[in-house]
Chains A and B, each alone.
Chain A
Amino acid sequence: MPIDVLMPALSPTMEKGNLAKWLKAEGDSIKPGDVIAEIETDKATMEVEAVDEGVLAKILVPAGTNDVAVNQKIAVIASEGEDASAVSAAGGASLPGQADPTPVAAAPKAAAAPVSAPQTQAALSAAGYDASGEIPAGTEMVTMTMREALRDAMAEEMRRDGDVFVMGEEVAEYQGAYKVTQGLLQEFGPRRVIDTPITEHGFAGIGVGAGLAGLKPIVEFMTFNFAMQAIDQIINSAAKTLYMSGGQMGCAIVFRGPNGAAARVGAQHSQDYTAWYSQIPGLLVISPSNAADAKGLMKAAIRNPNPVVFLENEILYGQSAPVPKDENFVLPIGKARIARPGKDVTIVSFSIGMTYALKAADELAKEGIEAEVIDLRTIRPMDVDTIIASVQKTGRCVTVEEGWPQSGVGAEIAAMLMDRAFDWLDAPVLRVTGKDVPMPYAANLEKLALPNVAEVVQAVRSVTYR
């Protein structure tokens, strides 16, 4: 039996990648452990090793092909005793369950990865970003991933202010565990881009100390799961010192990193801390859903004189969106964005929750329900005025978040609306949240533990009595 070689995944969240080059040619014999190809994403490069012995009968995806889906068949190996040319013919002819590879193969190598080929667009459509006209029409836009947007924001602010520096695990030589700090070491050197040991409590405290002394640290946590080791320094030292000193001594610092569930990484690596940090006076808490917000708010966070907890999302890192080209594009902290206008129901979300919210709004539109979708962007201070104004129009509200229900962001919004918009509510506020369980590993259970579009749609039907 010929052996299929499939496109491997580099990380739990990878969906596709580029086949950079083949290191073996058709007809070459292969031993287990031989490197046969190199694949890359905007985050990393990896070698594909052969597991089986045989002859490389057929290459199905040529070198230089971009956006090859994970698990797509990329080559066929004829095992010992098989006729490689026969296998080659068979392999090339049939790809059950796969799209015809020809169009992929035909993609010219010159069309490099989207990340390295910024497209300029005339302007953003209102539905694509913002209904309130935050970005003036005609602004030149560049399409980039959230990962690049965050990197560019940091780089621009580091160019602007010599007191800004980045520290964290693998931020420098490794180029960032999630490649968010890619290239910063090369531009700014080891004095300002600092690899730390694996010691979150210690380096968070060092960051806060440097902040108290007037520097502007960006402290990266490889993920916010690890920041629990450091949460004392974030809350007791960073958030409270200004108050405890009677306004005399504060701390301009950004704690940033991916937050929440990634994919199949289990309970200890899949927690949403938004509600935790959003409870703390003295902190600003930001969690963007798209590249433009990520850039504009990261720049705002770095310039802000207060401690900021900046919660990113691993799954969103690779998603591209148009971002204003202007280096002075800084968004206001504490201002929500109406991502989609509507009159029948208000859906409030943030970060990856926006993915469910917007898809649900599309579904609901087919049923004749016009949902207004609000992207909080900043969780603390929360833009309650925008939520209230929307609820005064729609009379109904559904919140969407991946975090747990008890004392969550949705719980806060529900309580706030009871307090400040009770007379406008035509239905109870409903929360769509992550389930009240530690994150399971099994794929089906993980899916069940996270919110989904159907749950949002159902909640909206419920509050609109449909």
Chain B
Amino acid sequence: MAFAARKSATASKAATAKATGKKSSSTAATFSREEDVSAYREMLMIRRFEEKAGQMYGMGLIGGFCHLYIGQEAVVIGMQMASKGGDAVITGYRDHGHMLACGMDPKGVMAELTGRRGGLSKGKGGSMHMFSVEKHFYGGHGIVGAQVSLGTGLAFANHYRGNDNVSLTYFGDGASNQGQVYESFNMAELWKLPVVYIIENNRYAMGTSVSRASAQTDFSKRGLSFNIPGEQVDGMDVRAVKAAGERAVEWCRARKGPYILEMQTYRYRGHSMSDPAKYRSKDEVQKMREERDPIEQVRRRLIEDWKVGEDELKAIDAKVRDIVNEAAEFATNDPEPDPAELWTDILR
């Protein structure tokens, strides 16, 4: 409250709302038919892609670590709807959804998962390490929390160049306890860097629940001591995400500094493919899927509010399945990298 009062002279309405720790209202944000259709298609794309990746992992086509984004789709799709071309995106290891949302080729992403030469990193990065200069996607980072300083650096570059692009820096509730996150918060606010810190609170840092790891479980308040505004957002409602994202992005573009969005979300699958998930009950997951699923929420709106016919929905589903199947087929049949690739791309 002290912070809200202190800032209220200059802060926008959004900032004042956040500082009180209030949850942003999802009913305030409404979507047009086109927005709902688009959000549905994009989220379904991630869902089907990740389901396929899970299958292919089970078949031994994907190796190592593979962290699926299923359940969290509304976060990245809502944020993309709130951003504009040239905005930078960076995230941790649960990154397939972000790449697809940034418009990176599903075939290239899937072929990277299978370690093939047509992968976005020529098969040398893997699930956690893909990048796109063209789409302003800066990875894909495997060290928990490292992307927060890097994302702050992307904002630094925008600030240095004097453009109005922002950096969308994603990390989880687990990464939120890393020291460099707070080092970055401090400098971002000190230098008024245009970075939106998007904390994807999916409740579990691997197998450790938020309440077992965090002294302050309201992540929107994690920037308070640096005077960074924050708000908690229903991360299962793509409309709420987009609305909050717009407030945050606007704040950054107005050169007011960083902004924190705690996205309250949930991952349905394990931390990675090798997670036995003993730390939560099946009922908890089932309840979330039935009551809060981000894609089901939009699907219901499409049918009930927008009267979208079964045929149109089927057409969207079929299109998405085709793209995913095509990606899987490419990733299965594409050859492995040429052995000579071992020695390339170390220096330039």
Residues of A at the B interface (CB closer than 8 Å) are 165, 191, 196-197, 199, 201-215, 232-233, 236-237, 241-250, 281-282, 284, 305-306
User: CB distance B186 to A242 under 8 Å?
Assistant: no
**CB <8 Å contact, A282 and B133:** no
Given A247-B344, A248-B132, A249-B133, decide whether A232 and B146 contact each other with a Cβ distance below 8 A: yes
A199 touches B186 (CB 8 A): yes
Partner of A233, one of B140, B149, B179: B149
Q: Give the CA-CA distance A305 to B347 in the complex, in Å.
A: 8
Are B139 and A245 interface neighbours, CB within 8 A?
A: yes
- Known contacts A205-B148, A206-B184, A232-B143: A241-B131 contact under CB 8 Å: yes
Q: 5 interchain pairs (CB within 8 A)?
A: A199-B183, A206-B156, A209-B155, A210-B160, A242-B346
Residue B177 is within 8 A (CB to CB) of chain A in the complex = no
**Given the known A-B contacts A242-B345, A248-B121, A282-B346, are A209 and B143 also in contact in the complex, defined by CB atoms under 8 Å?**
no
Query: Interface stretch among B19-27, B76-84, B122-130, B209-217?
Result: B122-130
Known: A205-B150, A209-B151. A242 touches B143 (CB 8 A): no
Q: When chains A and B are docked, how far (Å) is the Cα of A247 from the Cα of B122?
A: 9
Docked pose: A205 CA to B195 CA in angstroms: 14
Point out the residue from A202, A237, A244, A245 that lies within 8 Å of B184, measured CB to CB: A202
In whole angstroms, what is the CA distance A196 to B153 when docked? 13
Residues of A within 8 A of B138 (CB): 209, 212-213, 249
A interface footprint on B73-110 (CB within 8 Å = 1, 0 otherwise) = 00000000000000010100000000000000000000
Given contacts A196-B187, A246-B125, contact A205 B146 (CB under 8 A): yes
Also in contact, A247 and B131, with CB within 8 A (given A202-B186, A205-B184, A206-B153): no
Q: Given the complex, which residues of A lie within 8 Å of B154, measured CB to CB?
A: 209-210, 212-213
- Chain B residues with a Cβ under 8 A of chain A: 88, 90, 119-126, 129-133, 138-143, 146, 148-158, 160, 179-180, 183-184, 186-187, 190, 344-348
Name the residue in B120, B123, B133 with the highest tally of chain A Cβ atoms < 10 Å from its Cβ: B133
Top 3 closest pairs, chain A to chain B, by CB: A209-B153, A205-B149, A202-B183
| A244/B121 contact (C-beta < 8 A), A199-B187, A206-B187, A249-B138 known | yes
List chain B residues, Cβ under 8 A from A196: 187
Looking at chain B's contact residues, the main secondary structure is: mixed
Query: Whole-angstrom distance between the alpha carbons of A245 and B108 in the complex?
Result: 12
B residues less than 8 Å from A191 (CB atoms):
160
Considering the complex, give the chain A residue whose CB is closest to the CB of B180.
A201
Which of A207, A210, A213 gathers most chain B CB within 10 Å? A213
Complex Cα spacing A206 to B189, Å:
13
Chain A residues positioned under 8 Å from B143 (CB to CB): 232, 236-237
**When chains A and B are docked, how far (Å) is the Cα of A210 from the Cα of B184?**
13
Report B-chain residues with C-beta under 8 Å of the C-beta of A306: 347-348
Cross-interface CB contact of B153 among A205, A241, A250, A282, cutoff 8 Å: A205
Across the interface, which residues of A come within 8 angstroms of B148, CB to CB?
205
Task: Let me know if A244 and B151 touch, CB within 8 A.
Answer: no
Instruction: State in angstroms the CA–CA spacing of A207 and B183 once bound together.
Output: 13
Q: Which residues of B contact A209 (CB under 8 A)?
A: 90, 138, 149-157
Give the shortest distance, in Å, between A78 (CB) and chain B (any CB): 53
Q: Say whether A210 contacts B156, CB under 8 Å.
A: yes
**CB–CB B157/A244 < 8 A:** no
Which B residues are CB-close (under 8 A) to A246? 119-125, 345
A245 interface neighbour in B88, B131, B146, B347, Cβ under 8 Å: B131
How many Å lie between the Cα of A206 and that of B151 in the bound state?
A: 7
Chain B residues with Cβ below 8 Å from A243 are 124, 345-346
Contacts A212-B154, A248-B132, A249-B131 given; does A237 touch B125 at CB 8 Å? no
Q: How far is the CA of A241 from the CA of B157 in the complex (A)?
A: 18
Q: Please give, as numbers and ranges, the residues of chain B lying within 8 Å of A204 by CB-CB distance.
A: 149
- Chain A nearest CB, measured from B198 CB (Å): 16
Q: How far is the CB of A280 from chain B (nearest CB, A)?
A: 10
Which A residues are in CB contact (< 8 Å) with B348? 242, 247, 250, 305-306
The answer to whether A212 touches B150 (Cβ under 8 A) is yes
**Cβ of A215 and Cβ of B160 under 8 Å apart?**
yes
A165: nearest chain-B partner, CB-CB = B160
For residue A233, give the distance in angstroms from its CB to the closest CB of chain B: 6
**Hey, which chain A residues are within 8 Å of B125, CB to CB?**
244-246
Cβ of B32 to closest chain A Cβ, rounded Å: 33
A246–B337 Cα distance when bound, in Å, is 11
CA distance A241 to B142 in the complex (A): 11
Apart from the given pairs A199-B187, A208-B150, A237-B141, 7 other A-B contacts in the complex at a CB distance below 8 Å: A203-B187, A205-B148, A215-B160, A241-B139, A245-B125, A246-B345, A306-B347
Of the residues B132, B152, B345, B347, contact of A206 by C-beta under 8 Å: B152
Q: Tell me the bound Cα distance from A203 to B151 in angstroms.
A: 11
Give A306 to B122 CA distance when docked, in angstroms: 20
Cα A201 to Cα B185 in complex, Å, equals 12
Cβ of A244: which chain B residues have Cβ within 8 Å of it? 121, 124-126, 129, 131, 139-140
Q: Are B146 and A236 in contact, CB atoms less than 8 angstroms apart?
A: yes
Q: How far is the CA of A241 from the CA of B139 in the complex (A)?
A: 9
Please give, as numbers and ranges, the residues of chain A lying within 8 Å of B179 by CB-CB distance.
201
A281 to B121, CA, bound (A): 17
Q: Which chain A residue shows the least CB distance to B152?
A: A206
B121 contacts which chain A residues (CB < 8 A)? 244-246, 248
Q: Kindly list chain B residues whose C-beta atoms are within 8 Å of the C-beta of A199.
A: 183, 186-187
Complexed CA–CA distance, A249 and B345 (Å): 10
Chain A residue numbers with a CB within 8 Å of B347 are: 242, 282, 284, 306
**B117 and chain A: residue at smallest CB distance:** A246
**Which residues in B have their C-beta under 8 angstroms from that of A208?**
149-150, 153
- Nearest-neighbour CB distance to chain B for A262, whole angstroms, equals 26
- Which residues of A have CB within 8 Å of B156? 206, 209-210, 213, 215
Write out the residue numbers on chain B whose beta carbons fall within 8 Å of the beta carbon of A206: 149-150, 152-153, 156, 184, 187
How distant is the Cα of A244 from the Cα of B132 in the complex, in angstroms? Answer: 12
Which residues of the other chain, B, contact A305 by a CB distance below 8 angstroms? 348
State the CA gap A45–B225 with chains docked (Å): 37
Question: A235 to nearest B CB, angstroms?
Answer: 10
Which residue of chain A has its CB nearest to the CB of B153? A209
Q: Nearest Cβ in chain A — how far from B284, in angstroms?
A: 34
Determine the chain A residues whose CB is within 8 A of the CB of B190 once the complex forms.
197
